[in-house]
Chain A
Amino acid sequence: MKAITWAGPNRVTCEETPDPSVTNPRDAILKVTATTICGSDLHLYDGYVPAMQRGDILGHEFLGEVVEAGTAVSDKLSVGDRVCVSPMIACGSCFFCQQELFSLCDNGNPDAALAEAVWGQSPCGIFGYSHLTGGYAGSHAEYIRVPYADVGAVKVPDGVDDTQALFCSDAFATGYFGADMCGLGGGEVVAVWGAGAVGLFAIASAYLLGAERVIAIDRFPERLRLARERAGASEVLDYTQVDVVEELKALTGGRGPDSCIDAVGMEAHSGGLQGAYDRVKQATRLESERPYVIRECIQACRKGGTIAMIGVYGGVADKFPLGALMNKALHLRTGQVHAQRYLPRLLEHAERGEVDPAFVATHEMSLTQAQEAYQTFKQKTDACVRVVFRPHGA
């Protein structure tokens, strides 16, 4: 089959690979009908995740059609079912899964020892997301093996099209998770850093969950326009033009946002001395993150407020403002998305027309355009928000 594989920092290629096969009774094999490059794939593409190997198939956000179901899932999934799949590979029965903390599953990562060495304990497995999270083949391919398919694959209602369902798999789910972690009760002001797909869905989700105002922060005019026009942001800030912390204070009567969502993660952009400092330290591998956004969230958030970290971090950061975090009694909530928890309700939101997740799809390319697709997405050229691959055609 054709697949997009990692060929080293900033290099991907489309090549022929073997087809996947059912290995365990709870597996399913899917024909991938749509898959997209996620912002977190760029951390792999850029070479900031150390446990990548040449030849690894990338991709974790996808939709597919069941072509084969293992013996233990054949009563739940049938050949021909159109399913949306969680990027998180989780067993559904361990302590964490039982609490719907699927991304913390104990039994999803076959390379758990590696993750334990780095992080103390291992999260779940993730498709196409380095050997720290299992070394599973990813979705930028014509076919994919889905372990624990009875837990991770959710049937898509007829009223939801492929592109809408595709983004429920991860971007919408992660944005929703970020808003959910804010514990909104109604009437809050939420600030969202990053107006990529995840940030845009965090904005839309914050409104679904009761926020009164959502302020979007980015630097690309077209993304800020989408934030306002499609996600519904009440205000937008271009961080290259304003002092974000001061502006947020001004917009919130001096109090600061009730909740701040970091939808950027480890490769945040920043100018000035702080930005240069992080760039140099990251380039020389003296720190693995450029934690500019999370620093700003801590600084901006109101006292006693909540910060939801859904942007991905992998290692260690410098100059982390612990003093502000502690003395302002902030709540810091984090994690990879527990997508299995959210998938059914997000598909319902899409079916009812409350959110149209397809609005973030700006580009369609073929698997053979792998390098161009990744570069376009990384450089955000041509107002790119998301690139969609349809490995078997539209």
Chain B
Amino acid sequence: MRQPIGSHLHGLLDYLTGTALIGASRLSVLRRRFAGRALATAGGNHLVYSFFTDYELGVVKRLPYKAHLALDAVGALGLAVLPWVLGRKDPVDRWVPAAVGIYELSAVAMSDPSGAGGSIRATRHRAVTVEKPEGEVRALLEDPAEVRRFSPAGEWTGRFELRPAPGGRGTEIHAEADPADLRRAKQLLEAGEIVTAEGAPAGRRGPISAALPTLDTGA
């Protein structure tokens, strides 16, 4: 079964966690001690490499998502074991970074490396109906060149079932698939192209638009 955290949700957690760790490091109980410095460093690192990650909420998309997860894992492990390696005896210095490290390791473990994730999709279409006869639908779904067009992330398993839609209204495609792939396949079949607004001209975006577009309301 696919892990429940997709790249979009992971990105949100990154920015929230990074900000929260820096904020927490300023608390009086942690300030000017090892635990505070560790949390601030971890939070800052998170924000920086999230900014450069090639996922929905990345701004300068240079770092592959899988490499991002690897950095998460290494950082989390470091945070968890560093107090012991450095011989810190104070319970706060020892257990606060460890707890954060364990939390981060859990987030990595629950994150799907493909970025798709299992729980963050707004609506998961398991089926779509297309206004085309079964033969035409099958031909497209089994054509490797077309599959690359409608499933650019390569998640299409190739396993699907076709059923006639009620009333002779086309063909139903049933598949365990990314709903976006099914939508694109339908667009190719019915419209002959994949609809897109990518590259649409726009004016100056707000400072947070690339990372959190839905919050960029200009307010």
- Give chain A's interface residues, CB within 8 Å of chain B: 1, 3, 5-9, 11, 13, 15, 17-21, 23-26, 47, 50-57, 72, 89, 91-95, 98, 106-114, 116-117, 120, 125, 131, 134-137, 141, 145, 147-148
When the two chains form the complex, which single residue of B123, B129, B170, B205 contacts A53, counting CB atoms closer than 8 Å?
A: B205
Return A243 CB to nearest CB of chain B, in Å.
38
B29-37, B81-89, B104-112, B184-192: which lies at the A interface? B184-192
Q: List 18 A-B contacts (CB under 8 A).
A: A5-B202, A21-B199, A23-B196, A23-B198, A47-B219, A50-B214, A53-B213, A54-B206, A55-B203, A55-B204, A57-B201, A89-B195, A91-B187, A92-B191, A112-B183, A113-B122, A135-B200, A141-B201
When the two chains form the complex, which single residue of A24, A55, A93, A148 contacts B205, counting CB atoms closer than 8 Å?
A: A55
Query: Is the CB of B194 closer than 8 A to any CB of chain A?
Result: yes
Query: Is the CB of B27 closer than 8 A to any CB of chain A?
Result: no
- The residue on B at minimum CB distance from A117 is B122
- Are B201 and A6 in contact (CB-based, < 8 A)? no
- Are A15 and B122 in contact (CB-based, < 8 A)? no
Complex Cα distance A232/B185, Å? 49
When the two chains form the complex, which single residue of B180, B196, B201 contacts A113, counting CB atoms closer than 8 Å?
A: B180
- The residue on B at minimum CB distance from A134 is B197
The answer to whether residues A52 and B131 also contact, given A109-B195, A125-B197 and a CB cut-off of 8 A, is no
> A residues within 8 A CB of B170?
95
When the two chains form the complex, which single residue of B190, B195, B202, B213 contacts A110, counting CB atoms closer than 8 Å?
A: B195
- Are B122 and A137 in contact (CB-based, < 8 A)? no
* Extra contacts besides A7-B218, A112-B183 (10): CB < 8 Å: A5-B203, A24-B196, A25-B193, A26-B191, A55-B204, A95-B170, A110-B197, A113-B179, A131-B213, A135-B200
Return A70 CB to nearest CB of chain B, in Å.
9
Complex Cα distance A26/B192, Å? 9
The answer to whether residues A93 and B202 also contact, given A9-B217, A54-B218 and a CB cut-off of 8 A, is no
Query: Is the CB of B26 closer than 8 A to any CB of chain A?
Result: no
> B residues within 8 A CB of A21?
199
- Give chain B's interface residues, CB within 8 Å of chain A: 121-123, 129, 131, 169-170, 179-180, 183, 186-187, 190-206, 209, 213-214, 216-219
> A residues within 8 A CB of B198?
23, 110
- Are B201 and A18 in contact (CB-based, < 8 A)? yes
Return B140 CB to nearest CB of chain A, in Å.
14
The answer to whether residues A23 and B199 also contact, given A9-B219, A95-B169 and a CB cut-off of 8 A, is yes
Complex Cα distance A141/B203, Å? 11
- Are B203 and A3 in contact (CB-based, < 8 A)? yes
- Are B187 and A113 in contact (CB-based, < 8 A)? no
- Are B195 and A91 in contact (CB-based, < 8 A)? yes
Complex Cα distance A63/B198, Å? 23
> B residues within 8 A CB of A54?
203-206, 209, 216-218
- Are B129 and A108 in contact (CB-based, < 8 A)? no
Complex Cα distance A153/B201, Å? 20
- The residue on B at minimum CB distance from A6 is B218
The answer to whether residues A117 and B123 also contact, given A3-B201, A107-B190 and a CB cut-off of 8 A, is yes
- The residue on A at minimum CB distance from B205 is A55
- Are B205 and A125 in contact (CB-based, < 8 A)? no
> A residues within 8 A CB of B180?
113
> A residues within 8 A CB of B194?
24
Complex Cα distance A13/B202, Å? 12
- Are A57 and B218 in contact (CB-based, < 8 A)? no
4 residue pairs, one from A and one from B, having the closest CB atoms: A8-B218, A117-B122, A5-B203, A91-B191
Return B124 CB to nearest CB of chain A, in Å.
9
Complex Cα distance A91/B131, Å? 12
> B residues within 8 A CB of A147?
195
- The residue on A at minimum CB distance from B194 is A24
When the two chains form the complex, which single residue of A3, A9, A23, A117 contacts B218, counting CB atoms closer than 8 Å?
A: A9
> B residues within 8 A CB of A106?
186, 190
- Are B203 and A57 in contact (CB-based, < 8 A)? yes
Complex Cα distance A310/B192, Å? 31
Return A81 CB to nearest CB of chain B, in Å.
21
- Are B202 and A56 in contact (CB-based, < 8 A)? yes
- Are B214 and A19 in contact (CB-based, < 8 A)? no
When the two chains form the complex, which single residue of B131, B204, B205, B214 contacts A94, counting CB atoms closer than 8 Å?
A: B131
- Are A19 and B201 in contact (CB-based, < 8 A)? yes
Return B204 CB to nearest CB of chain A, in Å.
5
Return A136 CB to nearest CB of chain B, in Å.
5
- Are B209 and A53 in contact (CB-based, < 8 A)? yes
Return A49 CB to nearest CB of chain B, in Å.
10
- Are B191 and A93 in contact (CB-based, < 8 A)? yes
> B residues within 8 A CB of A1?
201
The answer to whether residues A94 and B183 also contact, given A21-B199, A54-B206, A110-B197 and a CB cut-off of 8 A, is no
Complex Cα distance A124/B148, Å? 25
The answer to whether residues A20 and B217 also contact, given A95-B129, A95-B170, A107-B195 and a CB cut-off of 8 A, is no
Complex Cα distance A11/B213, Å? 18
Return B156 CB to nearest CB of chain A, in Å.
17
Complex Cα distance A20/B187, Å? 22
User: Could you say which of A6, A26, A94, A120 has the most chain B C-beta atoms within 10 Å of its C-beta?
Assistant: A94
- Are A11 and B218 in contact (CB-based, < 8 A)? yes
